[in-house]
Amino acid sequence: MKKSFVLLSAIALAVLTLTGCGKVNNQPHPDNLSSIIISETGEVRYDMGGVLDQSYYNIDELVSMARQELSEFNSQVGGTPASLGEYLYDPASGQVFLPYTFSGAGYCEKLTGTKVFYGTVTQASLAGFDISGSMFTSVKGGSIVSGSDIYKNNSDRMVIVTNLQGAVMGPYAADYVSDGIFWVSGDSGDYCSTMNYGGDYAIIILKQ
């Protein structure tokens, strides 16, 4: 079911790879990054960002294809676990955001190929994510904490795991982050920049 990026690349929508950890310019698109926002109930909003940088690219065609694909996806999995909101498009720059909403994190990966996990530390470990073998940095103070200590003492903490290179916002502030992730505070909100995460995925341990 991982067809979205294939669909988008077919009409040459380049996924944004802008870097930076500055001011939150336009939540939920800080620094013009693709963004994932997870609610307390586990609902996922994924704003897929890219650039239509040629005059023959058609935003209406792109959105029509995305909606058709989404309809087929919902029909196959049953119900309406995924939806697409009103897109944002800047003709001058070609920048576009497609705001997908998923009733659960697993549906995001099935449709888009972007891994998103939201659950407890214990659940993440059972799902195959290496919490115990990872090292984490405390958002407050910058001290290094072993994943084994987190697993032992904070197994009920909520955690976000993703391979998105962009911005991640959870229902609670980050407490510990894996290698290469930065917690950024701005005028419109706080987020984790996962542009430079180490390993196969970024891990964010949330505050209780």
Rounded to an integer, the average pLDDT of 154-170 is 94
Residue 132 · residue 166 · CB < 8 Å = no
pLDDT in tens, 21-58: 333 334 557 777 889 999 999 999 999 888 887 666 68
Which of helix, strand or coil describes residue 42? coil
The alpha carbon dihedral of 116, 50, 76, 85 has a sign of: positive
Average pLDDT over residues 1-29: 41
The DSSP letter of residue 100 is E
**pLDDT for position 56:** 63
Q: Helix-strand-coil percent breakdown of the chain, rounded to 5? A: 25, 35, 45
Reported as a pLDDT band with limits 50, 70 and 90, residue 16 is very low
- The pLDDT confidence band at residue 95, using thresholds 50, 70 and 90, is confident
- Lowest average pLDDT, out of 34-43, 59-68, 76-85, 145-154, goes to 59-68
pLDDT, position 92 = 84
Where are the domains positioned within the chain? Answer: 4-112, 116-206
Let me know: does 124 contact 161? Beta carbons within 8 Å: yes
Q: C-alpha dihedral over 16, 47, 10, 104, to 10 degrees?
A: 130
Average pLDDT for the chain: 83
The pLDDT, as a whole number, for residue 55 is 66
Give 177-199 pLDDT, tens digit per residue: 999 999 887 655 789 999 999 89
Asked which of 59-63, 144-148, 149-153 is least confident by mean pLDDT, the reply is 59-63
Q: Residue 201 has what pLDDT?
A: 95
In a 13 Å sphere around the CA of 32, the CA atoms on its Cβ side amount to: 14
pLDDT surpasses 80 at 119: yes
